[in-house]
Amino acid sequence: MSDLKGKSYIYIDTVADLASLVSIMSSARRIAIDIEADSLHHYYEKVCLIQLTIEKDNYIVDPLTGLNLSEFLEVLSESYIVLHDGGYDLRMMRSTFEFEPKGRVFDTMLAAKLLGYKHFSLGALVKEFTGIELKKGAQKADWSYRPLSASLLKYASDDTRFLFGIADELSKKLKALDRSRWHKQTCKKMIASTASPAAVKDPDQAWRIKGISLLGRNQLVYGRELFYWRQKYAQKADRPPFKIMTNHLLLELAAWAQVNPNVSLQNGPRLPRDCKGGRLKALESAIKRAHDVLPDDWPSKRKPAPRRKPVPDCKVLIQTMRDQSAEVAEKLGIDPSVLATRSALVSIAYNRPKTINEIMLSGPMMKWQAEILQPIIAENLDAHPLA
């Protein structure tokens, strides 16, 4: 591999180095993994780095060099993977490479939560088990930029170099408390959630950004046109939409434009500095299109989804189950939300499941959660029968 004396990682950007790494991975007992992506800087987000630790060696694979990663990803998918807070990483690996883990996955953050740790970020766990404080400050870096600085690459490699030691310590604690089964189920649930395809958005919902419900119908039409103007230029520039125009400014401009349809934009809310030339003309055209839409064609304000008719004493039932669940969680030394979320208990109150399997489906809950809470659920459902 490349000669990188004095560096704490091996940078993989050639066919030969990748082949050597795949050979090492094929016989590895486990592989620690993390990724860096560019969602803060690009419209079309992608994985920009894949960091690995195998035994005591750290590697950084650069997928932006045009390497064929098919064999690498195939071996990785069959490997025992250790990661921290892996939901985002696995979703990005799936969307970028169609990657799916088939082997065992150990998530250190999930393990820490099941053990009752109050602080479970990677930095907190590294400090807890090694006394080392990881450097911060590169979370917002543009990882698609090349070449990356040595300090950024060092920062990236630190995300996996400590994971084996942390995983080993957490694994011992899970076994001592007989919670290894909980952890396996929790990791399995996390993996399943990352494999779910993105829901197809309702076209009439896609443009309804946070805060737009505060606009009137005569302003919503402007908000809709401005949203699609922003989307077009975000895609064209390959930048996140908020870097073209923030939601706050978009809503402010929609409200102003409705009142001042024939006033120059120079007299309106302050626009981003790069909103000029063709982009500015397109913005003006979007506002004119909104102004020309007849009232009958204005978008409607969305009404909140109707609430289900509550069953008798539903609020009392839910609160009682929450209180008792929290008491159990306190005895276990974990956060109440780890044992049962409020939404899960609400669903159980409405659906009134009886068996462990019914509780799992109703919550939904994992088996370990349903087993612990089944006596509480049964007792409370009996105490609050349907009228």
Q: Are strands 47-54 and 57-61 parallel, antiparallel or unpaired?
A: antiparallel
pLDDT digits (tens, 9 = 90+) for 282-334: 999 999 999 999 999 999 988 765 555 555 558 899 999 999 999 999 999 99
Q: What percent of the chain has pLDDT above 90?
A: 86
Q: Which of 286, 301, 267 is nearest to 222 (CA)?
A: 286
Helices (H) and strands (E) in the chain, counts: 18, 6
| pLDDT surpassing 90 at residue 209 | yes
Position 199 scores a pLDDT of: 62
pLDDT digits (tens, 9 = 90+) for 81-128: 999 999 999 999 999 999 999 999 999 999 999 999 999 999 999 999
Q: Rounded to two decimals, what is the model's pTM?
A: 0.88
Rounded Cα distance, 184 and 172, in Å: 14
Position 5 scores a pLDDT of: 41
Mean pLDDT score of the chain? 93
Determine contact, residues 216/180, Cβ cutoff 8 Å: no
Position 140 scores a pLDDT of: 84
| pLDDT surpassing 70 at residue 133 | yes
Give the count of beta carbons closer than 10 Å to the beta carbon of residue 312: 10
Across the beta sheet with 10-12, what order do the strands follow? 10-12, 57-61, 47-54, 31-37, 81-83, 105-107
Position 277 scores a pLDDT of: 95
Q: Please give the single-letter amino acid code of residue 62.
A: D
- Give the domains, in start order, of the chain with CATH numbers: 10-195 (3.30.420.10), 203-297 (1.10.150), 314-383 (1.10.150.80)
Q: What percent of the chain has pLDDT above 70?
A: 94
Q: Which two tokens stand for residue 35?
A: 């990724």
- CA angle 29/31/32 to nearest 5° reads 145
Q: Which two tokens stand for residue 71?
A: 């064999």
Q: Please give the single-letter amino acid code of residue 303.
A: K
Q: Which of 53, 72, 67, 59 is nearest to 11 (CA)?
A: 59
Q: Which of 334, 359, 349, 340 is nearest to 385 (CA)?
A: 349
Position 314 scores a pLDDT of: 81
